[in-house]
Amino acid sequence: MSRLLQRLFGRLPVGWLQLTHNRTRFFAALAGVAFANVLVFVQLGIMNSMSSAAVRPYAFFSADIMISAHDANTLSDGANVARQWLYQALADPEVAEGMGLYVTNVPWDRGMTDISLTTFGVDPFQPQFLTGTLGPDAGFLQLRDAALLDRLARGFNRADAAGISPATPLSFETERRTLTAWTTFAGGGGFGSDGYMFVSDQTFLRLFPARRAAAPDHILLRVTPGADVAAVVTRLKATLSDPGLRIRSFADAKAEDLRYQQTRRPTGVVFGFGVLIGVLVGLVIVYQVLSSDVADHLREYATFKAMGYRPSFFLGVVFEEALVLGVLGFIPGMIFGGGILTLMGKVTTLPLRMTPDMALSVFLGTVLFSALSGAIATRRLAAADPADLF
């Protein structure tokens, strides 16, 4: 390592030698940087998983435009929308088809625990609005009180889920009705619920008699092939002149939901602050190590100053130390952080994992903030006056 750094810097790796001279302090410093990295990784992992979980339900649908109530920031909140807007939207020549979407959370008693499933009520005769296996399986929803269950739902035994098939459907009770799951799909737990369930709009209305067919939660639209979605949205905004409506492309709705989760929801803000705290902890640890290291070696630095070393040399030594701490602290931080995320992901079924992007950005952030700490620590070098050596 010493030789590598000597080649890299073209001089004796004074910073490295200084850091490793006191092994105990060196490893304590690395542990501190690694700890800060773990903090950042876990917070970032949760934040990313929150984002992934927030946009996951959008992946179930194939739509171009979504009409929602003005206060509907996500798929599962906000007021209802009058069905009349669906019919008016269908009057646009480039709107090919539309579907009302009903959404609510349904509790499911699983014996030891209650789990909550975000339940979508859809029109089983319009499977083109559903993606993946949901489209072909939507036919099952034409049956009375039929359901499609999320086999990755938190608290739903994997073996039980695997046993569900048209030959061996699973009947269960919820909202004082018996539903029958004919098959499953891959969803996963999120922050708002433990998983997902699809039922027909008719089943949905039977489950919730207070809800009315004339007032779905959202209206999904598909445009004719080749139509410009943005232009259709603009036209619909002019045509459907109700200020209580949010008319957006489906992609914009997904992006706005994500932004809302990250910046307006307490969880997003809390985890965002968590990342910030992790960064600050790392910054303080590296600063503390470097600053006390500079203070401990002021006499030696003053000697080097007397010998004619330029300020750039001292900056180089402190940055070298910052780089060593940042890089070597990152490695255990990434290993432990990745391990913790994997473990948490298994327990919660949240999409918690270390992505290459996350690892790279945390690495670059670590090096950057270590260098910043180093830059702050070099201010103490001003105290090294070679004239005081005599």
Partner 1 sequence: MTEITVSAERLSHWFGQGETRKQALFDVSLALPRGSFTVLMGPSGSGKTTVLTLLGCLRAVQAGSVRLLGHELHGAPEPHLVALRRRLGFIFQMHNLHESLTAAQNVIMGLQVHPGVPDATARAAAAQVLGLVGLSDRIDYLPANLSGGQKQRVAVARALVGNPALVLADEPTAALDKDTAAGVVDLLKRMGAARGTTTLLVTHDNRILDRADRILTLEDGRIVKVEDRA
Size of the site for partner 1 (CB under 8 A): 23
Closest to 129 (Cα-Cα) out of 180, 54, 201, 55: 201
Q: How far is the CB of 301 from partner 1 (least distance, A)?
A: 9
Where do the DSSP E strands lie in the chain?
65-69, 95-109, 114-122, 146-150, 170-174, 177-185, 195-200, 218-223, 245-249
Considering only 1, 4, 8, 12, the residue that binds partner 1 (CB under 8 A) is 12
Closest to 45 (Cα-Cα) out of 333, 302, 293: 333
18 binds partner 1 (CB under 8 A): yes
Q: How far is the CB of 17 from partner 1 (least distance, A)?
A: 5
144 binds partner 1 (CB under 8 A): no
Using the contact rule CB under 8 A, the part of the chain among 11-19, 77-85, 135-143, 322-330 near partner 1 is 11-19
Using the contact rule CB under 8 A, the part of the chain among 14-22, 65-73, 137-145, 268-276 near partner 1 is 14-22
Please answer whether residues 97 and 282 qualify as being in contact, where contact means their C-beta atoms are separated by less than 8 angstroms.
no
**Torsion angles phi and psi, residue 185, rounded to 5:** -140, 170
Enumerate residues 307-336 that contact partner 1 by CB under 8 A.
307-310
The sign of the torsion formed by the CA atoms of 257, 258, 264, 268 equals: positive
9 binds partner 1 (CB under 8 A): no
SS3 of the chain: helix, strand, coil, percent, to 5: 55, 15, 25
70 binds partner 1 (CB under 8 A): no
Enumerate residues 350-389 that contact partner 1 by CB under 8 A.
386-387, 389
Give the nearer residue to partner 1 in terms of CB position, either 71 or 385: 385
Three-class HEC string of 199-246: EEHHHHHHHCCCCCCCCCCEEEEEECCCCCHHHHHHHHHHHCCCCCEE
Enumerate residues 245-304 that contact partner 1 by CB under 8 A.
297, 299-300, 302-304
126 binds partner 1 (CB under 8 A): no
Chain contacts with partner 1 (rule: CB under 8 A): 6, 11-12, 14, 17-18, 20-21, 297, 299-300, 302-304, 306-310, 386-387, 389-390
